[in-house]
């Protein structure tokens, strides 16, 4: 199991929805709930794209206005890999083709 977790982290793949991670310097676990989210950039009319959208684990989404946006490179540790089936594989192939 530990090798599988490291493979996901090192290959730069998008983790499946439901994966639970710790971000660099973080104290709380975060669960992946979405991909490729946009937020306002530092300058007007500028958007920043993030690899993941997440929520605090185990509480989940507490407000539709509060989400954690982060990149794969910010993941320090993977605790759990979410559900992954053939449908998810096709979607992940599509996500990876966008990079």
Question: What is the reported pLDDT for 45?
Answer: 74
Question: What is the reported pLDDT for 6?
Answer: 62
Give me the torsion for CA of 75, 80, 85, 86, rounded to 10°: 20
Q: What is the pLDDT of residues 28-84, one digit of tens each?
A: 999 999 998 877 766 667 788 889 999 999 888 888 777 899 999 999 999 999 988
Instruction: Say whether pLDDT at 8 is over 70.
Output: no
Instruction: Say whether pLDDT at 15 is over 60.
Output: yes
Instruction: Say whether pLDDT at 3 is over 70.
Output: no
- Cβ within 8 Å of residue 77, ≥6 positions away: 21, 22
Determine the length of the chain.
99
Global pTM value:
0.81
Q: How many domains does the chain have?
A: 1
* Long-range contact pairs involving 55-63 (C-beta distance under 8 Å, separation at least 24): 55/30, 55/31, 56/28, 56/29, 56/30, 56/31, 57/20, 57/28, 57/29, 57/30, 57/31, 58/29, 60/31, 61/33
Question: Who wins on pLDDT, 16 or 46?
Answer: 16
Q: Provide the domain limits for residue 74.
A: 2-97
Question: What is the reported pLDDT for 10?
Answer: 61
Using CA atoms, how far apart are residues 31 and 6, in angstroms rounded to an integer? 17
């Amino acid at each position: 199991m530990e090798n599988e977790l490291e493979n996901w982290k090192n290959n730069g793949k998008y983790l499946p929805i439901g994966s639970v991670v710790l971000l660099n310097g973080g104290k709380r676990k975060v669960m992946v709930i979405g991909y490729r989210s946009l937020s306002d950039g530092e300058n007007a009319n500028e958007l920043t794209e993030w690899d993941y959208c997440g929520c605090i684990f185990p509480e989940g989404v507490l407000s539709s206005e509060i989400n954690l946006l982060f990149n794969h490179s910010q993941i320090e540790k993977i605790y759990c890999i979410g559900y992954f089936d053939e449908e998810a594989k096709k979607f992940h192939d599509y996500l990876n083709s966008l990079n």
